[in-house]
Chain A
Amino acid sequence: MENMAVKMQGITKAFNGVKANDHVDFYLEKGSIHGLLGENGAGKTTLMNILYGLYQQDEGTIMINGKIEDISSPVKAISLGIGMVHQHFMLARPLTVVENVMLGRKSRRGILLDTKQTAQELAAVSDKYKMGVDPYSKIWQLSVGEQQRVEILTAIYMGAQTLILDEPTAVLTPQETELFFDTLREMREDGKSIILITHKLEEIVEIVDEVTVLRDGKMIGTKKMDPSVTKGELTNMMVGRDVLFNFPEITKQPGEVKLSFRNICVRNDKGLPALKDFSLDIRESEVVGLAGVDGNGQKELCEVLTGLRKADSGEMTLGGEPVINKEPIFFINKKVSYIPEDRHTTGLALDWSLKRNLIFKSIGKAPYSRNGLMQSKCINAYWEKAKDEYQIKAICGDEKARSLSGGNQQKIILAREIDVEPEVLIADQPTRGLDVGAAEYVRNKIIEARNNSAAVLVVSADLEEILQISDRIAVIYDGELMGILPRGADTYEIGELMMGKREEVAVSGK
């Protein structure tokens, strides 16, 4: 019993009658790394938010170090030695690392700041776990991986013995992940206990001592990790069935160049260069996967390709016709479909009905519009058809898009963008935030579009996904094309390019 850092028993938490956690038991041994595995919406984050005091459980007890505790707030959780690093970092970007740590804390020097002392202590902790964080660097200058280390460092500095990490590797390159795992091992050596929330099986196998699987808010089981535990077994526990990454067969080989752009230069919203002389060709019946860490110009590229952002310079042809900087409607009419990264502000009108979201690119176009009037009958009929074909789970077409789950929202976008039989399909993070089943469905639809002769560009931060569906893999770093690799390229090689190390690898393809 004394060996348990955390023991949660019979935890139940309901939101509006929906049980996000249903009698979940969870324990964490001291000095171990415990994986919390499950699909999105399985209740992982809810359970950990309860442990961190953000929510209160409806039923059940929590024991910390063998003592029953009522964790009423994060402040209480921190005082009990529990720290949490969220998916979205809570850092003030213009400030330095040490200033961020000092925010909201009382200075030990009265009205004067104890910056120097804190910085020294931070540096000491950083050295201890080989995190390499400079207390005086400003947050905005740090890479995502470094920012994450700052978050962890802060939690430890505040005295965390138990650390909850919510999907920590989602934002990291393979190399950064390795480094991150080293830090975790280092901390485990030091007697800290770690909970790793994830839905990536590879991570569970690689680093975790024990794993607890949640599905639909219920605990499916806890397993000690040893070589006899297979990924298949875990998937089965997680999804409740075997997910076979069964893609439609590739029925067509890539054809003529459909979309071609040369030396594209464009600036981001802040007016800084986002793309520098970016050139790429995409052929008919071809999926080009664009790998890269988020924020390296992918979004701007997609926007240029669909007319949403004006390029400063460069050329672009669509089927041989020059199309640079045309209006968005031009691209829509040319059947260039776009699945945007941001479903909530770009891909959907959240407060519009589902059926209107399905046709909003066809305002003023037959058959949805006749004589200047939108045809409700026709729109309803299309909704019924699309709902069945794309397996959209919704009560009715008049429901607001806001009320759907992420997966179903994405299906609305897919239906709209793929049902027009696109000539070009630009998909920016098409499966982000979706559970395994929905992601599989989306990828299948993308391959289908490819087999129907579309030229496809898939942007993804998920290397697995890129590797699964791409005919060629382009890698972007800091707005530049780092190289183009053939299907089946080595993950490590892609990772190097993603970090901007061009000279170290032979660039093949192009």
Chain B
Amino acid sequence: MESKLKSTVKEVLGTVIMLALALLVGAVLVVISGNSPMEAYSTMLRGAFGSAQKICELFVELIPILLMAFGISVAFRAQLWNIGATGQFTIGAIAAAAVALYIPVPSGIAIPLSMIAAVVAAAFWAALAGWLKNRFNANEVITTLMLNYIANCFLLYLVNGPMQDPETDLSQSALVPVGMMLTRLFGDYRLHSGIFIMLIVTVIMFFFWKTNFGYRINLIGQGEKVATYAGVNVKRTTVMTMMLSGALIGLAGWIQIFGIQYRILSGIAGSYGDIATIVALLGALNPYGIIAAGVFFAALRCGGNSMQRMTDVPFSVVDVIEGLIIIFVIAKTIVNNKTLGLRDKFRRKQGGKAHVE
């Protein structure tokens, strides 16, 4: 137990140092641009947490980021590198909007129906990559990435074609029925009832890794050989893992449609897919870590907007900080793997025959 605690502390400390470094480099950039980093960062901080409205906005950002990061973490734990969050989000959003716009049923039915449609569509979109991996041994990094483009092109076609709002020339669909929009919780603030879904999913995620399915996903992440040996049906579990991953991401798409956008429009996924991927990695694929990283990134984005408005510092500083964090996360993974590799090598040498192929 002690060693577990120790390694957790070490892990957290490493992450904190990493973030501090990224912020430090950001500060240097602010100085170079001729501004005060203290002012920039304090504006950022106030922009993220300074008022009730700011905090509501923080949660608005947090909802899709967390849901998608959880979805991504499910796949990543199985070493299935699902880079296709953007595409799965898009497909989920399209399905949700299609149900809302074209199936004339009372909103009491349309709401759950559109949710199911979004979740299922995104799950299958993700499962496609899993199936391609099983059937043709296609690398899921490539397939999920390519499916992003297909989803995006499909979206562009729809919002400029069959689903385009007849009232405008913009690349967007008509508004969903008012009765389907998620209730705003505090007056005019944008925070909507989708947060409860996020909270429920968060609680579930804490239990998820203790379920049979969670164990199986984890075991596949340990290696296909050992998972097969342990009696896990690797192919089936791969597809199911991708489905779950896509389902959570599709759920985020559904929430975004009925909570914020009320319609589909080109580029609806924004950069949520990328941010959620970083959040999942930064959070070490564990629910606590993902929550912490999610709040950090939501704050960075909300605060960054404020900073851009209130000071002369451009938002691109935030982009740089995000980029640096990506690099640090990757570097950390490589460093860890290297030290692990070295340690094994050393063991092998020292133990003589301790390791025999």
Q: C-beta contact mask, B184-222 vs A, less than 8 Å → 1, else 0?
A: 000000000000000000000001001111111011001
Complex CA gap A396/B229 in Å reads 25
Tell which of A20, A170, A346, A351 touches B225, judged by Cβ atoms closer than 8 Å: A346
Provide the residues of chain B in CB contact with A369, threshold 8 Å: 212
Say whether A40 contacts B351, CB under 8 Å.
yes
Asked, given contacts A40-B351, A45-B349, A346-B225, whether A374 binds B211 with beta carbons under 8 Å apart, the answer is yes
Q: C-beta contact mask, A116-137 vs B, less than 8 Å → 1, else 0?
A: 0000000000000000000000
Say whether A346 contacts B357, CB under 8 Å.
no
Which of A186-194, A278-286, A360-368, A495-503 makes up part of the contact surface? Answer: A360-368
Q: C-beta contact mask, B318-357 vs A, less than 8 Å → 1, else 0?
A: 0000000000000000000000000010100111111111
Say whether A373 contacts B1, CB under 8 Å.
no
Say whether B226 contacts A395, CB under 8 Å.
no
Provide the residues of chain A in CB contact with B356, threshold 8 Å: 87, 432-433
Tell which of B4, B211, B226, B351 touches A349, judged by Cβ atoms closer than 8 Å: B226
Interface of B (DSSP majority class): helix
Tell which of B2, B216, B349, B352 touches A363, judged by Cβ atoms closer than 8 Å: B216
Asked, given contacts A345-B225, A349-B223, A373-B210, whether A405 binds B231 with beta carbons under 8 Å apart, the answer is no
Say whether A40 contacts B212, CB under 8 Å.
no
Provide the residues of chain A in CB contact with B232, threshold 8 Å: 329, 363
Provide the residues of chain B in CB contact with A242, threshold 8 Å: none
Tell which of B1, B211, B230, B353 touches A87, judged by Cβ atoms closer than 8 Å: B353
Interface status of B137 (Cβ within 8 A of chain A): no
Complex CA gap A44/B350 in Å reads 9
Complex CA gap A230/B357 in Å reads 33
Nearest B-chain residue to A345, judged by Cβ: B225
Provide the residues of chain B in CB contact with A349, threshold 8 Å: 219, 222-223, 226, 230
Interface status of A225 (Cβ within 8 A of chain B): no
Nearest B-chain residue to A435, judged by Cβ: B353
Asked, given contacts A327-B233, A346-B229, A374-B211, whether A360 binds B3 with beta carbons under 8 Å apart, the answer is no
Nearest B-chain residue to A375, judged by Cβ: B210
Complex CA gap A396/B3 in Å reads 9
Give the distance to chain B from A490, nearest Cβ to Cβ, in Å. 28
Provide the residues of chain A in CB contact with B351, threshold 8 Å: 40-41, 405-406
Say whether B212 contacts A399, CB under 8 Å.
no
Asked, given contacts A49-B349, A374-B211, A398-B1, whether A308 binds B228 with beta carbons under 8 Å apart, the answer is yes
Say whether B229 contacts A395, CB under 8 Å.
no
Provide the residues of chain A in CB contact with B357, threshold 8 Å: 88, 342
Complex CA gap A328/B235 in Å reads 13
Provide the residues of chain B in CB contact with A327, threshold 8 Å: 231, 233
Say whether B350 contacts A41, CB under 8 Å.
yes
Say whether B219 contacts A41, CB under 8 Å.
no
Tell which of B219, B350, B354 touches A360, judged by Cβ atoms closer than 8 Å: B219
Say whether A398 contacts B3, CB under 8 Å.
yes
Tell which of A55, A308, A374 touches B215, judged by Cβ atoms closer than 8 Å: A374
Interface status of A140 (Cβ within 8 A of chain B): no
Which A348-407 residues sit within 8 Å CB-CB of chain B?
A: 348-352, 356, 360-361, 363-364, 369, 372-374, 376, 395-396, 398-399, 402, 405-406
Question: B residues within 8 Å of A by Cβ?
Answer: 1-4, 207, 210-216, 218-219, 222-223, 225-226, 228-233, 344, 346, 349-357
